[in-house]
Structure 1
Amino acid sequence: MKQAVLSSSGSRVNGEALKLQEGQRKAAAETFWPVVSAREKQTEDHERTLKAHKEVENPQKTMEVNGLMPLPDSYDYDLIVIGGGSGGLAAAKEAAKYEKKVMVLDFVTPTPQGNSWGLGGTCVNVGCIPKKLMHQAALLGQALQDSRKFGWQFTEEVKHNWMTMTESVQNYIGSLNWGYRVALRDKKVTYENAYGEFVGPHTIKATNKKGVEKLYTAEKFIIATGERPRYLGIPGDKEYCISSDDLFSLPYCPGRTLVVGASYVALECAGFLAGLGLDVTVMVRSILLRGFDQDMANRIGEYMKEHGVNFIREFVPIKVERVEEGTPGILKVTAKSTTGNQIIEVEYDTVLLAIGRDPCTRKIGLDKVGVNINEKTGKIPVNDEEQTNVPYIYAVGDILQDKLELTPVAIQAGRLLVRRLYAGATTKCDYLNVPTTVFTPLEYGACGYSEETAVEKFGEENIEVYHSHFWPLEWTVPSRDNNKCYAKIICNIQDNERVIGFHVLGPNAGEVTQGFAAAIKCGLTKEQLDSTVGIHPICAEVFTTLSVTKRSGRNTAVSGC
């Protein structure tokens, strides 16, 4: 769990307490630059941390020990940010611009396999960054195959080295961790690698990995603790399975891999593992990419299947056992059909769980200060200004109820929130028409409504779907994957055929989607797309020439670029 605390005006205390506080500041300064390891084993330290923060029964006594006895209306910090991920860090650094006393608390609970990481949150350490880099490794493998048709000659055997890749990726991530710490220091933001837990009004307890506790007070708080992977709750899942929190720093090649789940995390990981030449199977409970356009999701599944990824449909694991020791060793998975009583047993070297993520909100003392959460999901309801039901406590990022779980959204929400709090701004985060990309082997970019949601909201008779297949010029010489790339837009007939949904399946889908997302924000219409001159020969050009509607039933296949 990532946590962050920002500091405000200091409390009035006696001389002896001031000396103690000064000593604490010097100690913090001296220990601000520890060596950042890409992989830390902190299980024992974490157990001490949890034990320590559970044992504190008297916050008042702890504050006396720390010499931090604030008087009414006097706080240690203006703002404490709980969580050092993308949203939390963005908010903390933004608040520092306005000369606020800010503190960030960040603590990563080790995975069941004992893995932990540095400052920066999920995206930097175990999400977007390593995922995209390993996706790139897989794309390079495909490029090597294509290169022969373009005249490149090489005789040596080409193979992939897992350890070289992970070491390079982790070295880069380590540099990012270090950069975040430097940025906080330069902006005079206090940072503590400690677990933050509310213990009373305006008061939070920070417990470091050695079990040392400190209490801090703040005028305002921002919760930005993010989410962690969910487990199945079956025999052997935490003992033998890994999650995306483990995969990107795995110290051995995973070998034959079973990916359990059909989320974007599941399909992205399955995709790049297969692209690296591994034997990969995806076990799917029901549908692929729930919440995304299902037409596009099914096209992704078909493409992956054609490129060597196996799928076991409508089954869920009920037990995982170790058959053979080793790294990776051999695991036996017992699975049951979701539509009947059929039981199957399959063996793999590695089992990767990617069945969803849960908010880190249930163990940070929200009940002590009265912050409401959705008891079923753990998500925090907020108003349109990211404010919880407790006026001085705000929240941003993946933990918000009914909001998008995307890094850039958390960053923008954090910055805009702080500007409203301290700079008199009024702009709120716009959660509509936010673009995103799924980095499956054939990338999927989207912005706006899915086709299903558009039909549900506006009625099938009031939307027009224009679509086309396309063939990237770069793929024509190697003669691969003709009519696999696909583009479609969804238009609202009642609103001058305004584009309300944008979907593209093809190379560099994210780069394509980003620009069109800006146009959609500006009210892009089909007529404006038609009047836009395309760039030839590129993939995005297809959106300026769309003419076939789904309603017409006409063929969209293409034979050239």
Structure 2
Amino acid sequence: MHQAALLGGMIRDATHYGWAIQPVLHDWGTMAEAVQNHVKSLNWGHRVQLQDRKVKYFNVKASFVNEHTVCSVAKDGKETLLSAEHIVIATGGRPRYPTHIEGALEYGITSDDIFWLKESPGKTLVVGASYVALECAGFLTGLGLDTTVMIRSIPLRGFDQQMSSLVTEYMASQGTQFLRGCTPSRVRRLPDGQLQVTWEDLTSGKEDVGTFNTVLWATGRIPETRSLNLEKAGVKINPNSQKILVDAQETTSVPHIYAIGDVAEGRPELTPTAVMAGKLLARRLCGQSSDVMDYDNVPTTVFTPLEYGCVGLSEEEAVARHGEEHVEVYHAYYKPLEFTVAQRDASQCYIKMVCLRKPPQLVLGLHFLGPNAGEVTQGFALGIKCGASYVQLMQTVGIHPTCAEEVAKLRISKRSGLDPTVTGC
């Protein structure tokens, strides 16, 4: 859906390149059907591969009976006991519904639901400021829908906050509306089918009201642990987060029970880290390796309209860990070549490299805001994982004309106070 929104922008750009384009219209139903068919084909493919590898697959819900046994319940209510020497919990998480808000459950949807809507959500209020909230709001705006994001405190908590501000500034410039410092209190369905949302402005204390076709809750996720009867197996959880406590080997409080992915305490909520942790665990269980998952310098990308890729420490984390006097930040505002002819706003395209100040200036973190951020970040993530220094990156030849080459040209430090805007090649 992010790609669908990007394509809309490219179609609008095309006229600047000489393409005669008819009025640009988007059909939600066609896109939704294609997306849903793709997901269904992935699910089918996984089941076929499990069968080919003679893995028994049970499409059931399970809960612990004791530390070696689970009870599974099929859709028809049939129960089956399954016992194993080792058990891996990888149940993931689900979007959190703010059940304390009147009408939230009855009239709202979550990010899980929006991908399965057969018809356009229309005018949408997205409540939340996580990467899920901003990604959904970004592609809805890109598809031409009236979209508002309601933020209680700060956007992209846990990410570099300068980059977070640039992300939301760009979204605002593209038409996404933001209600900052606000929290909803009630959702009601009006006679015409629209949803009336009442919210409080936390700064002024005043109430306000708006009407929307869809309210999307993106206020965090909760781990799928409540129905597992973990106490019967002796598996301990964090009572606040409901996540399972694990060690560096992904082992729970019970030596032969493991937990990987979003369900485990202190793990990044990212699919690729769960996949790799699972692979490494399988190899250890089979005696093929003793390698454990390294959760340092995990790269990721937020797929907002202007993509934000990062790996390593944020500027705030680097300063907190090493002290401001020991950190050097190199940065640049740049203009992607593809933005020039189309006369696109590039004022938020920005790169920041966070380094130790002491030579050779080990790179602590890289933050990239611009087109194809995931592709750019993936390559530099290897270098940072291998202990790249600023000196080494400056010895790297850039590929012209790309956005990624701007990383290898970062010369201006924040400390210098000089204008970091790139003015030419």
Q: Which amino acid aligns with 1:215?
A: L
Are residues 1:293 and 2:160 paired?
yes
Partner AA of 2:132 in structure 1: V
Query: Once the two structures are superposed, what CA deviation does each residue of 1:152-203 show, in whole Å capped at 9, x if it has no partner?
Result: 113x322000000000111111111110000000010000110010012311
Partner of 2:128: 261
Amino acid at match of 2:300: T
Residue 28 of structure 2 corresponds to which residue in structure 1?
162
Quick check: which has more Rg, 1 or 2?
A: 1
Per the TM alignment, residue 136 of structure 1 is displaced from its structure 2 partner at its CA by 0.4
Cα distance between partner residues in 2 of 1:140 and 1:424:
45
Residue in 2 that maps onto 1:434: 298
SS at match of 1:537: coil
Q: What amino acid is aligned across from residue 361 of structure 1 in structure 2?
A: T
* Deviation readout 1:19-64 (Å, 9 max, x if unpaired): xxxxxxxxxxxxxxxxxxxxxxxxxxxxxxxxxxxxxxxxxxxxxx
Find the partner of 1:194 among 60, 82, 93: 60
CA contact (8 A) 1:260 1:284 kept: yes
Q: Which runs of 5+ in 2 are unaligned?
A: none
Deviation at 1:496? 2.5
| Partner of residue 456, structure 1 | 320
Tell me which residue corresponds to 2:351. Answer: 487
The answer on 1:217 being equivalent to 2:83 is yes
Match of 2:109 in 1: 242
What is residue 283 of structure 1 aligned with on the other side? Answer: 150
Indicate if the aligned counterparts of 1:196 and 1:207 stay in contact, CA closer than 8 A.
yes
Instruction: Specify the alignment match of 2:214 in structure 1.
Output: 350
Q: What is the aligned partner in structure 2 of residue 337 from structure 1?
A: 201
Question: Does residue 175 of structure 2 align to residue 308 of structure 1?
Answer: yes
Which one-letter code corresponds to 1:528 in the other structure? Q
2:238 to 364, 374, 379: 374
Residue in 1 aligned with 2:382? 518
Q: How big is the shift at 1:340?
A: 4.2
Residue in structure 2 matching 1:543, options 404, 407, 415? 407
For residues 261-303 of structure 1, give each alpha carbon's deviation from its aligned partner in whole angstroms, at most 9, with x where no partner exists: 0000000000000000000000000000000000000000110
Residue 71 of structure 1 corresponds to none
Query: Given that residues 324 and 331 in structure 1 are in contact (C-alpha distance below 8 angstroms), is that contact kept between their aligned partners in structure 2?
Result: no
Structure 1 residue 418: Cα displacement? 1.1
Give a deviation string over 1:392-443, Cα, whole Å, max 9, x none.
1001001111111111100110010111111241100000000000000000
Q: Secondary structure at 2:290's aligned position in 1?
A: coil
- Is the deviation greater in 476-485 or in 287-296? 476-485
Letter in 2 for 1:376: N
Determine the C-alpha separation between the residues in 1 that align with 2:417 and 2:380.
26
Whole-Å Cα distance in 2 between the matches of residues 399 and 216 of structure 1? 21
- Aligned-pair distance for 1:555? 0.9
TM score, norm. by length of structure 1: 0.75
Partners of 2:136 and 2:370 lie apart in 1 by 18
CA contact (8 A) 1:283 1:315 kept: yes
Question: Size of the alignment, in residue pairs?
Answer: 424
* Structure 1 residue 560: Cα displacement: 4.8
Which residue number in structure 2 is paired with residue 405 of structure 1? 269
1:388 aligns with 2:255: no
2:3 is equivalent to residue 136 of structure 1:
yes
What amino acid does structure 2 have at the position aligned with 1:310?
Q
Rounded to whole Å, the distance in 1 between the matches of 2:252 and 2:359 is: 35
Paired position in structure 2 for 1:8: none
What is the DSSP-based 3-state SS (H/G/I as helix, E as strand, rest coil) of the residue aligned with 1:297?
A: helix
CA contact (8 A) 1:184 1:191 kept: yes
Paired with 1:271 and 1:559, the residues of 2 have a C-alpha distance of 29
* 2-structure distance, mates of 1:278, 1:237: 22
2:169–2:348 Cα contact (<8 Å) kept: no
Q: Distance in 2 between matches of 1:324 and 1:279?
A: 21
Tell whether 2:283 aligns with 1:419: yes
1:468-479 alignment runs, 5 A limit: 468-479=332-343
Cα drift, residue 556 of structure 1: 1.5
Specify the code of the residue in structure 2 equivalent to 1:532: T
Identical-residue share of aligned pairs (%): 54
Contact 2:5 / 2:140 at 8 angstroms: preserved in 1? yes
Aligned to 1:148: 15
Q: Secondary structure at the match of 1:494?
A: coil
Give the unaligned 5+ runs of structure 1: 1-133
Q: CA RMSD in A?
A: 1.0
Post-superposition Cα deviations, 1:350-385, rounded to whole Å, max 9, x if no partner, equal 000001000011210101111000011011111110
Q: TM-score, normalised by structure 2?
A: 0.98
Kindly indicate whether the alpha-carbon contact (under 8 Å) linking 2:67 and 2:234 is maintained by their aligned counterparts in 1.
no
From 90, 94, 97, give the equivalent of 1:228: 94
Instruction: Label 1:495 to 1:231 Cα distance change in 2 as closer, same or farther (>3 A).
Output: farther
Structure 2 residue 367 is the aligned partner of structure 1 residue 500: no
Q: What is the letter of the counterpart of residue 363 of structure 1?
A: S
Residue of structure 1 equivalent to 2:45: 179
Verify the 8 A CA contact 1:483 1:557 in the aligned structure 2: no
Counterpart residue type for residue 199 of structure 2: A
Counterparts of 2:423 and 2:212, CA distance in 1 = 40
